[in-house]
Structure 1
């Protein structure tokens, strides 16, 4: 009969504790992605019907459209800055500290947005307060990626990193579905009827308060439940990590960063076409779907994406992340472009066919994101992983953000309605080339 020693009992206890820490870190990353995307889409969905509440009544339609777009763009521009600031915090002070600080920050800022008075109360200062706070919000949101996601990947077992990456990114479409459901409830309870309506005055504030509350609960979760990454602490070697920022812009790390930036520029371009241009530019304006039909179509597509992200993450774990990413880039350039071309010319088609094609396009062009989180974290050494991930993920969004200008330029050599198809091809090709320039990472040790 085998005797059980005290050391055996301690080993079992340590293993149980490690599993608990792993689950807590992964849950925190999934919630962080969900809340981040919830906050990103708040102005796009919740404020879209009543941004005139922050602007003067005599503003022309063109100027109003520009000012309204700045509310979303400034959030995106704040993200790279947040990635740099909080990436350094995550690499030098710890992933957990960066997560708590960034999440607490956008909880406070989101609540402040919910309290902004309208134009009738404080004039144009109302609009500029909204823009400035969304920019600051973007900084904190960009910082959220640099702590929570690397921490979860570092806690994950090597053979499960693909699944973990898929689960984390599933928080993105889940947030989109939830915020649309919330918007539909708000619109039903507080009908939008001009700047004097209940929705314009205070109904829109409720989702922002909920967003702030969720962020505060997430910060509390990290304080109470999530432990610092053992990989970052260097427990395996007993040596502190080299976190010098110069490592990221010199030698191999610089080459890694440039490769990631190239690949991500392609994937952000394809994502902007499918995620931002498709809803209004094609579903509403070209196919003339009603707002309710468009919302229902997108909600179904994003629900499907929740499951396809998990599947794509697992498939990338099996066949390799480099192969998976380059394959998705190639499929986007061919199959995805064909599906988008079909949609552009689908006027008169039944709604079920349109829904099916939109779902297929979303899966084809967007599945890469389930692999991206894990892949980028595996491309950088521990001492600069958070900064490398944050910068590679967020800085690459800037050039693709001006996709509308690129479509106008392409309209000089082709019909305007096919310009998004050309951009989808270009984005997929750039992503494919960028992925092929990097190595396979699924077997690397973090």
Structure 2
């Protein structure tokens, strides 16, 4: 993979290479920060809650901490998407990354329930909400900047490189936490990990954010395509009041709802099932998840490369159908007849992860290709983030389905439904891999329309449900 990546980068000019590296590192830091409360705080939650709090109440607190971050992300996409389309991608990235670097450091310094009582956990939740707002601004500005510097014939590959920050961040934070717990044990309220060990990954996350700010200030240039477009305007108004943009947004929303719902079945639900249904210890569960996520990087890269050859739309349709049928069946086998050998569990879990999650590698390219320069950051950020809201309620869907089937199998319904939503969303939208961002700027600059039709015979843009060119009658 490293050879392929270096080969691809040889054709990039330094400004493009720096923007893509920045987006990858930014998404890695973003995902690292997202998993801090899930992975790092789980063994130390008693630091923030009352000693007499029961298991159910602790679960509610833990879920609220994570939900606050998820809620903040679409808010951040709306706020920072506007600025990214108005004042520039680079400046907005620097502001948003600086923000979550400061907030993450503040969380690392928080006192616990022993010192401040319930105020401590309230502050933690509020800070995670604010953190989510800044996190939503990072990818909303950095990813469009990277895509606008990427040559269109390699956008799928570079999209996958950027998105691979997710599995690598999950593997990294899981490994760091595991090592910390080996040397700094977690136990009662006075144990080292509970008192101060959990703070170390938060400090690391903050330092990574500040390093990213330095990188953008020192090495990354503003998008030339954005500068040529002139910026300004009212991107949110254009996105939601102009019919073509609104229909494109709704299509992306349906598609990404499917993406997020399928992701929840692996990222949020599978870890607990590996313990409760498959019978793995916490250590073996962590090993399984780390291995599957490292391998997932290859799945992301493969998705990006394949979609560049066969088309994003065709790839997502076939991928969604395979995930719905093969992915759901293998997930059922894992739960109903779990292998007794750890290697086989890791193998089966990795295959399921590849079949369900690999398609995420193309999302940055696809969503950016669906919208013109003047609204691209807003549309990408909001379309990417807002769709997480309904899938994040997966626990309630499982509770409802449990009235009709065993609880452990409810995840299969969500996986099949999410995969089919991916197919529907892909069918609804056009092919995008040949979209030329530069030609869009030419049209916007002359005031010829809000959505630049591509009249080049080598760059077709088929409208949904028609054989014509996008924007033609």
Is the TM value for this pair above 0.5? yes
Question: Residue 29 of structure 2: which of 26, 35, 45 is its match?
Answer: 35
Counterparts of 1:294-309 in structure 2 under 5 Å? 294-309=285-300
Who is 2:236 aligned against?
Answer: 245
C-alpha distance in 1, partners of 2:412/2:260? 15
Matched, 1:146 2:137: no
Matching residue of 2:204: 210
In the alignment, is the contact (CA less than 8 A) between 1:42 and 1:208 conserved in 2? yes
Deviations 1:259-314 (A, max 9, x none): 0000100110000011110011x100111100111011111100101111111101
TM-score by length of 2: 0.88
Stretches of structure 2 that go unaligned for 5 or more consecutive residues are 1-9, 438-473
Distance 1:230 1:18 in 2: 15
Determine the structure 1 residue equivalent to 2:271.
279
- Structure 1 CA distance, aligned partners of 2:92 and 2:281? 43
**What's 1:361 paired with?**
352
Structure 1 CA distance, aligned partners of 2:234 and 2:263? 32
Deviation at 1:62, TM superposition (A): 1.3
Q: What residue in structure 2 maps to residue 326 of structure 1?
A: 317
- How does 1:9-408 map onto structure 2 within 5 Å? 19-234=13-228, 242-249=233-240, 250-280=242-272, 282-347=273-338, 349-408=340-399
Pick aligned residue for 1:414 from 390, 405, 411? 405
Indicate yes or no: 2:428 matched with 1:437. yes
Unaligned residue ranges in structure 1 (runs of 5+): 1-15
CA contact (8 A) 1:195 1:201 kept: yes
After superposition, the C-alpha distances for 1:49-106 in whole angstroms (9 at most, x for unaligned) are 1111101111122112111111111100100000000000100000001100000000
What do residues 176-218 of structure 1 show as CA deviations (whole Å, max 9, x unaligned)? 1111111112112211121111111111111101100010010
Partner of 1:6: none
Answer whether contact 1:247 1:253 (CA < 8 A) is retained.
yes
In 2, Cα distance between the equivalents of 1:344 and 1:244?
A: 46
Asked if structure 1 preserves the Cα contact closer than 8 Å seen for 2:338 and 2:345, the reply is: no
String of CA shifts for 1:122-169, please: whole Å, max 9, x gaps.
Answer: 111110111000010000001111111000000000111011001001
RMSD of the alignment, in Å?
1.4
**TM-score (normalizing by structure 1):** 0.94
CA contact (8 A) 2:87 2:231 kept: no
Judge conservation of contact 1:234–1:241 (CA < 8 Å) in 2.
no
Q: 1:416 deviation in Å?
A: 2.1
Structure 2 CA distance, aligned partners of 1:135 and 1:241? Answer: 28
Q: Secondary structure at the match of 1:234?
A: helix
Query: How far apart are the structure 2 equivalents of 1:391 and 1:269?
Result: 17
- Residue of structure 1 equivalent to 2:3: none
Rounded to whole Å, the distance in 2 between the matches of 1:244 and 1:65 is: 39
Q: Does 1:425 align with 2:405?
A: no
Shift of 1:413: 2.2
1:83 touches 1:390 (CA, 8 Å); kept in 2? Answer: yes
Counterpart-to-counterpart distance in 1, 2:231 and 2:88: 12
Distance 2:53 2:42 in 1: 16
Say which SS state the counterpart of residue 196 (structure 1) adopts. Answer: coil
